[in-house]
Amino acid sequence: MGFWTAIAFIVAAGCVLEAYRAKVKAGSANAENDRLAALEAKMAQLDSDLRERVETLERIVTDRKSNLKREFDYLDKAS
């Protein structure tokens, strides 16, 4: 094997290695993006649930006292 053949082989091996490294890095980034999207969806669901609970509590607090007892009874039965 000649000097220039060895140089060409080393350059080709480096290109193949860099392409493989880029492919692995892109696959890792896709998995992280999927995980991030799942976490964002979960946070949105929790935010929605929390807003609903706060609205219910605000409604209970601002209602008249006669309705307050009914709301507590309803919440006890729902649990």
Tokens of 40: 């964002």
From residue 34, give the alpha-carbon distance in Å to each of 1, 30, 46.
47, 6, 19
pLDDT in tens, the chain (79 residues): 788 888 889 999 999 999 888 888 877 777 788 888 999 999 999 999 999 999 988 887 776 766 777 778 888 887 6
Q: How far apart are CA 76 and CA 1, in angstroms?
A: 85
Q: Give the single-character DSSP code of 1.
A: -
